């Protein structure tokens, strides 16, 4: 009797669950073992700020697929099982069963590494104090929610002014806390250009959030729990601190097995999600990708990318030939009453990559000018002045930014020029757009750039 081929997947949040499910659908006879060191699987980490704000009342609503659903599909899901090492020559992994305090060896034919990323904790004193949190996992979110619900928290400090930091500023204000955001850079949202970032700063400060720019974290202080945050220029009272300084790929398991690391010290993969070691694939926030605008390797950890990469890795590990061409870095966030969206390169990034850059920004209306509840929409386009190819875009406004950025992401994928973009047949109806959609207005203005 011929033994079944076995796929082992390490990590069961986004990329790992996508890989396991796709592999099993592709090859129903394939044995798929899905290992997760934590207790929670397949959850929407991007929904955690809304759970903490109280918009989502049940944590289980953040679960995309339950363990029962995976097991019903024929996937051998093992939670609280941590992979300690990979023996690539012998195609096996060493696994710790954390519930039973024992270890075992598990052989594989193919392996998918989807270990994700970890919140960055800077090397400063006091981060071990109770009351200092990160927000990466479902358990992180539940711990933070419990701390706020205790009624003992009044003053929150968020270290980092990016997407998650500002989404959490809104969530904590909704829970009645005073909030201070500490950002080392001279602007919020460092992956936006400064002129667009100023719109976000005005919105955040207008909602009662204190923002300290050009100010880095020095230490946290407190007797028994955190009581104060000391920055380069300020002392800020705090009984809750959230570290939101970005993530780092969790690639130590791969590196110790001899896998090559690439952009951002993430696992280097090709367009089939293959690593440099035969039979081993990687996907999600632990893996690098290709920035389609530049054609260069980049580390851009996003939930959308993780799911797509996981799907490709699982399909190929099961015998298919699929490819993942890369990303343009499309992202959007709701920050109080603003939709804040970007795709491709900022003006600053494009110049750093050596492009001959032209950029234009327009302020127009999200709807027909006479339609009620209209609001301004700011659209910035970045282009190569020589080829006129679109390089990137940023859109900020109270309405209409989130989905329009997808039009521009598609334009980047198609390598359109601003002249091409100006000819796109955008829809028109007064409740949704003026007769000249803001994307078209921005493209026509950018087309005049020299």
**C-alpha pair distances (Å), 17 with each of 99, 142, 296:** 21, 22, 27
pLDDT exceeds cutoff 90 at 381: yes
Give ranges for CATH 3.50.50.60 in the chain. 6-117+248-317, 121-245
Of 46, 322, 426, 449, the active-site residue reads: 46
pLDDT at 449: 73
> What confidence category does residue 210 fall into, taking pLDDT thresholds of 50, 70 and 90?
very high
pLDDT exceeds cutoff 70 at 288: yes
Residue pair 310/14 in contact by the 8 Å Cβ criterion: yes
pLDDT exceeds cutoff 80 at 283: yes
Span 219-250, pLDDT tens digits: 999 999 999 999 999 999 999 999 999 999 99
Tokens (6 digits) for 92: 């096996």
Query: Could you give the 3-state DSSP secondary structure of residue 376?
Result: strand
- The fold of 338-446 is Enolase-like; domain 1 (3.30.390)
pLDDT at 1: 53
Architecture of domain 6-117+248-317: 3-Layer(bba) Sandwich (3.50)
pLDDT exceeds cutoff 80 at 37: yes
* Closest C-alpha to 202, from 50, 439, 52, 376: 376
Kindly report the CA angle at 342 between 248 and 390, in degrees rounded to 5?
A: 115
Span 58-97, pLDDT tens digits: 999 999 999 999 999 999 999 999 999 999 999 999 999 9
Give ranges for CATH 3.30.390.30 in the chain. 338-446
Span 89-145, pLDDT tens digits: 999 999 999 999 999 999 999 999 999 999 999 999 999 999 999 999 999 999 999
For β-strands 228-231 and 235-237, DSSP reports them as antiparallel
pLDDT exceeds cutoff 60 at 265: yes
Pairwise CA distance, residues 312 & 212, whole Å: 42
CATH code that applies to domain 121-245: 3.50.50.60
pLDDT exceeds cutoff 80 at 438: yes
Pairwise CA distance, residues 434 & 369, whole Å: 7
pLDDT at 230: 97
Q: What is the mean pLDDT of residues 325-339?
A: 97
> What confidence category does residue 448 fall into, taking pLDDT thresholds of 50, 70 and 90?
confident
- Whole-model pTM: value is 0.95
220 is catalytic: no
pLDDT at 4: 86
Pairwise CA distance, residues 99 & 96, whole Å: 9
């Amino acid at each position: 009797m011929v033994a079944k081929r076995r796929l082992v997947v390490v990590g069961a949040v986004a990329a790992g669950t996508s890989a396991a499910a796709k592999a099993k659908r592709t090859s129903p006879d394939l044995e798929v073992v899905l290992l997760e060191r934590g207790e929670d699987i397949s959850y929407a980490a991007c929904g955690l700020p809304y759970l903490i704000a109280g918009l989502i009342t049940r944590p289980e609503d953040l679960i995309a697929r339950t363990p029962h659903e995976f097991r019903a599909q024929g996937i051998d899901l093992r939670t609280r099982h941590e992979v300690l090492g990979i023996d690539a020559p012998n195609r096996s992994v060493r696994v710790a069963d954390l519930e039973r305090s024992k270890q075992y060896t598990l052989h594989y034919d193919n392996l998918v590494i989807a270990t994700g990323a970890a919140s960055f904790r800077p090397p400063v004193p006091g981060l071990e104090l109770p009351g200092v949190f990160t927000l990466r996992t479902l358990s992180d979110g539940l711990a933070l929610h419990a701390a706020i619900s205790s009624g003992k928290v009044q003053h929150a400090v968020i270290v980092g002014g990016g997407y998650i930091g500002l989404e959490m500023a809104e969530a904590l204000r909704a829970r009645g806390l005073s909030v201070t955001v500490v950002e080392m850079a001279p602007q919020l949202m460092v992956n936006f250009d400064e002129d667009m970032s100023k719109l976000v700063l005005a919105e955040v400060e207008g909602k009662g959030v204190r923002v300290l720019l050009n100010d880095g974290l020095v230490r946290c202080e407190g007797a028994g729990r955190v009581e104060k945050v000391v920055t380069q220029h300020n002392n800020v009272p705090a009984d809750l601190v959230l570290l939101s300084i970005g993530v780092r790929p969790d690639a130590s398991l791969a590196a110790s097995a001899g896998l090559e690391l690439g952009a951002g010290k993430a696992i280097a993969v090709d367009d089939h999600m293959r690593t440099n070691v035969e039979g081993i694939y990687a996907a999600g926030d632990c893996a690098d990708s290709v920035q389609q605008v530049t054609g260069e390797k980049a580390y851009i950890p996003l939930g959308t990318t993780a799911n797509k990469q996981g799907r490709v890795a699982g399909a190929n590990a099961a015998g298919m030939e699929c490819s993942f061409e890369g990303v343009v870095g499309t992202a959007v966030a709701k920050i109080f009453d603003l939709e804040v969206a970007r795709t491709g390169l900022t003006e600053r990034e494009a110049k750093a990559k050596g492009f001959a850059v032209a950029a234009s920004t327009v302020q127009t209306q999200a709807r027909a000018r006479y339609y009620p509840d209209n609001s301004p929409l700011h659209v910035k386009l970045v282009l190569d002045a020589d080829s006129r190819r679109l390089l990137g875009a940023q859109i900020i406004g109270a309405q209409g930014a989130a989905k329009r950025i997808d039009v521009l992401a598609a334009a980047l994928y198609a390598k359109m020029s601003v002249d091409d973009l100006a000819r796109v047949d955008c829809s028109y109806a007064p409740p949704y757009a003026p007769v000249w959609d803001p994307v078209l207005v921005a493209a026509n203005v950018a087309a005049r750039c020299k």
